[in-house]
Chains A and B, each alone.
Chain A
Amino acid sequence: MIERPVKLACRHVWKIYGPHPDRLLAGGKAPTLNEIRGSNHVGAVRDVTVDVREGEIFVIMGLSGSGKSTLVRCLSRLIEPSGGEILFNGQDLLKASPAEMIEIRRHRMGMVFQHFALLPHLTVLQNVAFPLEIQGVAREAREARAREVTALVGLKGREDYFPRQLSGGQQQRVGIARSLAVEPELWFLDEPFSALDPLIRREMQDEFLRIQNQLHKTIVFITHDFDEAIRLADRIAIMKDGAVVQVATPEELVLAPADDYVAAFTAHVPRAKVVTIGRIMSAGVAPQVAGQVPASARVEDVADRIESAALPYAVTDAEGAVIGHVAAAAVIDVLIGRNR
């Protein structure tokens, strides 16, 4: 597979709170956690280097206090990092002037907030049109565009409601619509579904995937919910104490956790949810097959079909070429957690 180009690159980014963060980082030093704590500082983000590629859903996962919210605010420069580089399309955001930052945010970034951050005095339509209003787009044009995205998130007919008249899930749909109104290249979602009830959360995750399948944005998605992360992510960065512990696909995280901390998260995840057919297939073309499955399919999604067939299935790659085959036994091994 061809690697997609990097959209947002984060190089050795630090955010240290305390009296003299600059002294700790002077001359390109990389202080240890103990050095930071010993000098009465707090290392909210420590030496983070990650690449977010175009069109991927990049999830940053961590428990509360792990620095994930601070990191996403550093990436959007809502918080000024103490050190490092943040390259957006190759341009260092930390060197951008305030005016340049305003331009970048107006046209190329969107953000969805945990508690929705809707303006209480504006209607749904006015809220969605707000980013365009700030840019000085004429009323008709911005309202037309706002109607379009409001319909996209399934709120057609509620344009004239006020936020307080909507349920939490609907409010977040407004938040999503609003962040999409300017057609951003880079889309930040800061725990967008954490404030919602579990059933609604699930529904919104599906909705989110549906929208992403239409729009193919580059996404940085923050969550503290590992199940949510493996459901949505192309790749996951796991954070602990301000540092990134591991960056990997959900499958790699489960099968090869970098340390005990990651392993503790992944221990209870059913393998079938993350393991792909490509991982368990046997090489070579089978003489007789019951059908075809893509290598990228997750075991859970195709297990029923493969298990009930007498013959193995052919496995195809992204171009449709047959690259191997998979039989019921391999699928059952994954389902019951047996290692052979």
Chain B
Amino acid sequence: MSRTRALLWPVLFGVSLVLAFVSQHLPPWLLTPPQAMMIDLAGTTSAAMKWLVEDATFGMFTVKEATRAIATLIEVPYEAARILLVDGITEGKGRRASTIIPPISWIAVTAAMVALGIYARNLKLGLLIGALFLYLAVFGQWESAMVTLASILIAVPIGVVGGLALGILAFLSPTFSRVLSPILDLMQTVPTFAYLVPILFLFGFGPVAALIATVIYAMPPMVRITTLALRQVPPELQEFGRMVGCTPGQQMRKVLLPTALPDLMVGVNQVIMLSLNMVIIASMIGAGGLGFDVLNALRSLKIGDGIEAGLAITALALALDQLSQALAARSHVGAPVQGSWIKRHPKTVAVLVLIVVTGLAGLVLPWVQTYPREAMLSTRSFWSDLVTYVNVNYFDQIEAFKDAILINLLLPVKRFLLALPWPWVLALLTLAAWQVGRGRLAGLCLALGLFIVVTGLWEQAVTTVYLCGISVVIAALIGVPLGIWAAASNTAGKVIGAFIDMLQTLPSFVYLIPVIMLFRVGDFAAMIAVVLYALAPAVRYTAHGLRSVQSELIEAGIVCGCTRWQVLTRVRLPMALPDILLGVNQTIMLALSMLVITALVGTRDLGQEVYAALATADVGRGVMAGLAVAAIAIIADRLIAGATARAKARLGLSGE
């Protein structure tokens, strides 16, 4: 019985190979789903959206009016933030505009960030953040960076407050939680771009649409973390609150929220980093700033500009990440300072004074207001030269490497997958789902697969699977050993940890820049970018899983006379398997979310569909492609989650 089971998948693979070889002789409808099967879901969706925007009404007001109102609600604070950081108050329009009150000077903004750093941890952090902001000024990225910062200043509070409110509601009302949970699940699996298109359609091209997309993208983790953090408050503390006679409001304000605060701050950090990532991506639908600079540079292949903007994003990301992490870890020890407000807030006062002083001085001395052009450094030509140098001297080697991988790995796999008849693939998928999760999962996977077939996106979907699949395999092949190494040695752990942190802090856009420089456009460049972006969870979860194996088990292994290698392969890796699978799962999700970005380098997958839909504002096409990506993500997620649960149950780790 078990022998036939072990042989099942190799045999099926062999059959697949044979099928792929003879595919030319199979009837064509087996390879490309026939036209008769298609359902015009895209057209229906487009029509529905059109009706929604043009005719739908809530009785009192129309949908259009509602979206306008939301847009205004966001636009007003956004404009205010721009006035403070970028534009100042001006009179007139265009070139004739004259500044009445200038924006906050670069000196004051940098000083404010230093003060925040000191407040959050210490002088060292303050200086680091100050240096990063100084970098933005010196390298001429100040204005774009401030536009990006203004977006974040608006998006983060909305995301945090909204997430907090929804999270508290979900904590208080089980019914609400039940309704919210699947929506959050879907939002986490649907790639960002699926909702870029409808938002573009509802709110039009521009910063407001970008901000809304950013908030939608960054809020779900805050909701989840809030609910989870509140649920994790020890039951004794909740009972204590009731025993001293807290009203429900007091219970939330004075007992639950303060106790959960450290966890909540982790959520705030997530919102900040996700907002930054999305604000950069949302430059595709009209957010200005650093993301727009990168996008522009990529489109016109201006490598130097792209790298400079990319480095500026990195600096901004690093500063915001360090700052919010320090704020999250801040422990308020020490008695509060007594005295007047001014005495108690010396840093705030200093920053306020500096804003006014530099603002006034800027009227006379322009360099105080805006960092002088003459003193700016540019690395543009340096980077361009470097790339030229590399391409001139190592072109053949790079090209040979690229071709070798393309010809020996990427293309054969692509051809093989595309040559498989779709009913066969669906059958295999259903069988795998049946093995992992029986009827329900098999039904779900079959339904999702059929959805892809009837929307006519089969080929793009297979291309997506091929690109993501290879990238994930490579990411796992690199990431798992790295994780093992990181777990084995403290030094390696620190170095690899820092490297992984760095990879995860960077917005996904940034990965494209060096890749395009070296490998230009195409599947290979896309693969490298995806691998880089998706590597982190594989490393992190592997290291975490290995480290959290009970020390008693390892000691038992050593006492039995295991060598180090045997301890690793016989004890630690099997015990860490569920964690490693979880990491692979995350890697797949990240790889899928990278798709639309790689569409910029000319892949022909579902990401390209979304990107094309964005360019033409074709809602139906974009939504369908997005849902198809979501379908792939859900299938992968459920299959791996099922396998993880089984592995856990086998190891007796599933808890109560």
A24 CB to closest chain B CB (Å) equals: 24
Does more than half of chain B's interface fall in helix, strand or loop, or is it mixed? helix
Name which residue of chain A comes closest to B248, CB basis: A98
Q: Contact check, A117 vs B239: say whether CB atoms are below 8 A apart.
A: yes
A274 to B335, CA, bound (A): 49
- With a CB–CB cut-off of 8 A, which chain A residues contact B35? none
A193 to B255, CA, bound (A): 23
Q: Mark A166-200, 1 if CB is under 8 A from B, else 0.
A: 00000000000000001000001000000000000
- Among A203-225, those with CB < 8 Å from B are none
Q: Contact check, A115 vs B234: say whether CB atoms are below 8 A apart.
A: yes
B336 CB to closest chain A CB (Å) equals: 11
The stretch of A104-112, A239-247, A308-316 that contacts the partner chain: A104-112
Q: Mark A53-76, 1 if CB is under 8 A from B, else 0.
A: 000000000000000000001001
A73 to B242, CA, bound (A): 11
Q: Is A78 an interface residue (CB 8 A)?
A: yes
Q: Mark B245-276, 1 if CB is under 8 A from A, else 0.
A: 11100100011001101000000000000000
Name which residue of chain B comes closest to A73, CB basis: B239
Q: Is B237 an interface residue (CB 8 A)?
A: yes
- With a CB–CB cut-off of 8 A, which chain A residues contact B240? 111, 113, 117
Q: Contact check, B250 vs A134: say whether CB atoms are below 8 A apart.
A: yes
Name which residue of chain A comes closest to B261, CB basis: A121
Total CB contacts across the A-B interface at under 8 A: 60
Choose one: A109, A114, A119, A162; the contact of B243 (CB below 8 Å): A109
Name which residue of chain A comes closest to B246, CB basis: A134
Q: Is A131 an interface residue (CB 8 A)?
A: yes
Q: Contact check, B244 vs A121: say whether CB atoms are below 8 A apart.
A: no
Name which residue of chain B comes closest to A103, CB basis: B245
A202 CB to closest chain B CB (Å) equals: 23
Q: Is B560 an interface residue (CB 8 A)?
A: no
Contacts A76-B243, A78-B242 hold; do A160 and B335 have CB atoms under 8 A apart? yes
A135 to B237, CA, bound (A): 18
Interface centre among B244, B246, B254, B332 (most CB of A within 10 A): B244
Q: Mark B91-130, 1 if CB is under 8 A from A, else 0.
A: 0000000000000000000000000000000000000000
Q: Is B236 an interface residue (CB 8 A)?
A: yes
Q: Is B22 an interface residue (CB 8 A)?
A: no
- Among A115-159, those with CB < 8 Å from B are 115-117, 119-122, 130-131, 133-135
Name which residue of chain A comes closest to B335, CB basis: A160
B393 CB to closest chain A CB (Å) equals: 58
Q: Contact check, B239 vs A78: say whether CB atoms are below 8 A apart.
A: yes
B246 CB to closest chain A CB (Å) equals: 6
**Residues of B within 8 Å of A, CB-based: how many?**
20
- With a CB–CB cut-off of 8 A, which chain A residues contact B247? 102
Q: Contact check, B245 vs A117: say whether CB atoms are below 8 A apart.
A: no
Q: Contact check, B236 vs A106: say whether CB atoms are below 8 A apart.
A: no
Interface centre among A115, A131, A134, A182 (most CB of B within 10 A): A134
Q: Is B333 an interface residue (CB 8 A)?
A: yes
Q: Contact check, A117 vs B237: say whether CB atoms are below 8 A apart.
A: yes
Interface centre among B237, B245, B333 (most CB of A within 10 A): B245
- With a CB–CB cut-off of 8 A, which chain A residues contact B335? 160
Interface centre among A110, A115, A119 (most CB of B within 10 A): A119
Q: Contact check, B242 vs A105: say whether CB atoms are below 8 A apart.
A: yes
A117 to B245, CA, bound (A): 15
Q: Contact check, A113 vs B236: say whether CB atoms are below 8 A apart.
A: yes
Name which residue of chain B comes closest to A115, CB basis: B236
Name which residue of chain A comes closest to B332, CB basis: A121
- With a CB–CB cut-off of 8 A, which chain B residues contact A103? 245
Q: Mark B317-331, 1 if CB is under 8 A from A, else 0.
A: 000000000000000
Q: Mark A70-114, 1 if CB is under 8 A from B, else 0.
A: 000100101000000000000000000000011111110111011
Q: Mark B222-243, 1 if CB is under 8 A from A, else 0.
A: 0000000000001011011011
Q: Mark B59-98, 1 if CB is under 8 A from A, else 0.
A: 0000000000000000000000000000000000000000
A291 to B72, CA, bound (A): 93
Contacts A115-B234, A121-B258, A121-B261 hold; do A102 and B245 have CB atoms under 8 A apart? yes
Q: Contact check, B333 vs A162: say whether CB atoms are below 8 A apart.
A: yes
Interface centre among A107, A110, A131 (most CB of B within 10 A): A131
Contacts A102-B245, A105-B245, A131-B245 hold; do A119 and B236 have CB atoms under 8 A apart? no
- With a CB–CB cut-off of 8 A, which chain B residues contact A133? 254
Name which residue of chain A comes closest to B257, CB basis: A121
Q: Contact check, A111 vs B259: say whether CB atoms are below 8 A apart.
A: no
Choose one: A101, A115, A120, A162; the contact of B259 (CB below 8 Å): A120
B581 CB to closest chain A CB (Å) equals: 34
- Among B112-171, those with CB < 8 Å from A are none
Q: Contact check, A134 vs B259: say whether CB atoms are below 8 A apart.
A: no
A133 to B241, CA, bound (A): 12
Q: Contact check, B236 vs A114: say whether CB atoms are below 8 A apart.
A: yes
Q: Contact check, A121 vs B239: say whether CB atoms are below 8 A apart.
A: no
A115 to B234, CA, bound (A): 9
Q: Contact check, A134 vs B244: say whether CB atoms are below 8 A apart.
A: yes
A134 to B253, CA, bound (A): 11
A116 to B254, CA, bound (A): 17
A332 to B636, CA, bound (A): 78
- With a CB–CB cut-off of 8 A, which chain B residues contact A121? 258-259, 261, 332
- With a CB–CB cut-off of 8 A, which chain A residues contact B246? 102, 134
- With a CB–CB cut-off of 8 A, which chain A residues contact B332? 121
B254 CB to closest chain A CB (Å) equals: 7
Q: Contact check, A105 vs B333: say whether CB atoms are below 8 A apart.
A: no
A49 to B245, CA, bound (A): 26
A28 to B261, CA, bound (A): 47
Q: Mark B329-359, 1 if CB is under 8 A from A, else 0.
A: 0001101000000000000000000000000
Q: Contact check, A134 vs B239: say whether CB atoms are below 8 A apart.
A: no
B337 CB to closest chain A CB (Å) equals: 14
Contacts A115-B234, A115-B236, A120-B259 hold; do A134 and B242 have CB atoms under 8 A apart? no
A164 CB to closest chain B CB (Å) equals: 9
A22 to B335, CA, bound (A): 53
A64 CB to closest chain B CB (Å) equals: 15
Contacts A73-B239, A117-B237, A134-B250 hold; do A105 and B244 have CB atoms under 8 A apart? yes
A135 CB to closest chain B CB (Å) equals: 7
A191 CB to closest chain B CB (Å) equals: 11
- With a CB–CB cut-off of 8 A, which chain A residues contact B261? 121
A28 to B581, CA, bound (A): 55
A103 CB to closest chain B CB (Å) equals: 7
- With a CB–CB cut-off of 8 A, which chain A residues contact B244? 105-106, 130-131, 134, 182
Name which residue of chain A comes closest to B258, CB basis: A121
Contacts A113-B236, A160-B335 hold; do A119 and B258 have CB atoms under 8 A apart? yes
A315 to B39, CA, bound (A): 100
Q: Mark B610-643, 1 if CB is under 8 A from A, else 0.
A: 0000000000000000000000000000000000
A221 CB to closest chain B CB (Å) equals: 16
A244 CB to closest chain B CB (Å) equals: 22
- With a CB–CB cut-off of 8 A, which chain B residues contact A117? 234, 236-237, 239-240
Interface centre among B234, B239, B250 (most CB of A within 10 A): B239
Q: Mark B281-320, 1 if CB is under 8 A from A, else 0.
A: 0000000000000000000000000000000000000000
A113 to B250, CA, bound (A): 20
Q: List 29 A-B contacts (CB under 8 A).
A: A73-B239, A76-B243, A78-B239, A102-B245, A104-B245, A105-B242, A105-B243, A106-B245, A109-B243, A111-B243, A113-B236, A113-B240, A114-B236, A115-B236, A117-B234, A117-B237, A117-B239, A117-B240, A119-B237, A119-B258, A119-B259, A120-B259, A121-B259, A121-B332, A130-B254, A131-B244, A162-B333, A182-B244, A188-B243
The 10 closest A-B pairs by CB, nearest first: A106-B245, A131-B244, A105-B245, A117-B236, A117-B240, A102-B245, A111-B243, A113-B236, A121-B258, A117-B237
Besides A78-B242, A117-B236, 11 other A-B contacts (C-beta < 8 A):
A78-B239, A78-B243, A105-B244, A105-B245, A111-B239, A114-B236, A117-B234, A117-B239, A122-B258, A160-B335, A188-B243
Residues of B within 8 A of A (CB): 234, 236-237, 239-240, 242-247, 250, 254-255, 258-259, 261, 332-333, 335
